[in-house]
Amino acid sequence: MGDSDAVKRLRPLEIDGVIQCEPGEGGLPKVSVTTPLSRAEVYLHGAQVTLFKTAEEPPLLFLSERSRFVTGTPIRGGIPICYPWFGPRSGDVSHGYARITEWELAATRMHPDGTAGLRFVLPEAAANQGGIRAGAREEWTSLKAELYVSVSDRLELELVVTNPSESQNVALENCFHTYFAISDISEIAIEGLQGTQYRDRLQHDQLIKDSDRQIRINSQTDRTYLDASGPVHIHDPGLKRTIAIEKAGSASTVVWNPWTTQILSDLGPEEYRRLICVESGNVEKNQVVLAPGQSSTLKVSMGSLPLVQASVA
Ligand code: TA6
């Protein structure tokens, strides 16, 4: 397949042997990153990371075999960027328009320690569709959003949003809706959320305090943990690894698995067994309010380590 105009525009940003731009699934422009320790792939569509893998590990992220790669439709898997809202919104896409917009690749670099860095910019027109989108607010049209992706033995993402207004506060939600690859949903234990409160979407949105040291998934799960800013570990004996998720600038953590009951056309019937979403952001009462001229940074750092033996009860 010949280079599309979008891929041709990316050529000057390539770094030989490290950063290549090429047509990906569905012909969508994809940036492939190779470092001495790892590989990654990021689609300009949604600035969505779809692959991260260190040399000796299975991929860290789950990507549905049935994901569509079509403009205007979210990719199912990897790290969707939920912005500037989280969740459903009447007349517009769920989780905001950032993940169905083609971002611009603004810069690439290779650090002396071998880390590869990418910077993506959300086009200002994203909030519009020939007129402001049904779900968008006027004040969002002037926000500046940039995504920094850093690839080494870990994967780090930073979403930086700036309010250029000289007079107006702007409220928004943001979230890295990360799909982690696991051996089997029955195997894993999630640790780090003990003692925090969550809104349970499966129990009439009631607020519940989580007293479990470890969370195990045995049915459809959709929990929004509020005022939860700490690290989370996903212990996976099946893959003999613990996935470590650290974050900064994030007060909310969402845990989701569709099980067999939430039917999604872009997710195979058995794929629920091989994914768990642990999402890092600021949603609901944890929403971000930017004063005039203020910026916010949502940062997540993820990687895997040998299974923390004592962890799995
Ligand atoms: O992450 C939790 C959630 O809001 C769930 O309610 C579920 O709908 C999931 O996101 C996937 O949403 P999507 O719009 O990507 O199908």
Ligand 1 atom, smallest distance to 175 CA: 1
Tokens 């990360």 -> residue = 178
Which residue's CA lies nearest to atom 14 of ligand 1? 94
CA torsion 292-127-46-8 (nearest 10°) is -100
102 DSSP assignment: B
| Cα–Cα distance for residue pair 9/230, rounded to 1 Å | 40
| Residues 129, 146: Cα–Cα separation, whole Å | 20
Residue 174 near residue 298 (C-beta atoms within 8 A)? yes
Nearby residues of 279 by Cβ (< 8 Å), 6 or more positions away? 82, 175, 176, 177, 178, 252, 253, 254, 255, 256
Q: What distances in angstroms separate CA 101 from CA 28, 76, 83, 84, 186, one per listed residue?
A: 12, 15, 11, 12, 35
d(CA 280, CA 158): 11
Q: Is residue 287 exposed (0-12), middle (13-18) or buried (19+ Cβ within 10 Å)? A: middle
pLDDT score for 97: 95
Ligand 1 site-directed mutation target among 62, 95, 217, 279, most atoms within 8 Å of CB: 95
- Mean pLDDT by runs of 10 across the 313 residues of the chain is 78 95 96 97 98 95 98 96 96 94 96 96 83 85 96 98 96 98 97 96 95 95 98 97 98 98 97 98 98 98 86 53
Q: Which atom of ligand 1 is nearest to the CA of 74?
A: 15
CA pair distance 200, 182, nearest whole angstrom: 23
How far does the centroid of ligand 1 lie from the alpha carbon of residue 167, in Å? 34
Q: In angstroms, rounded to a whole number, what is the distance separating the alpha carbons of residues 254 and 273?
A: 18
| Cα 137 from Cα 84, distance rounded (Å) | 9
Secondary structure (3-state) at 67? coil
pTM: 0.96
Q: Is the CB of 87 under 6 A from ligand 1?
A: yes
277 lines ligand 1 (CB under 6 A): yes
Atom of ligand 1 nearest to the CA of 95: 14
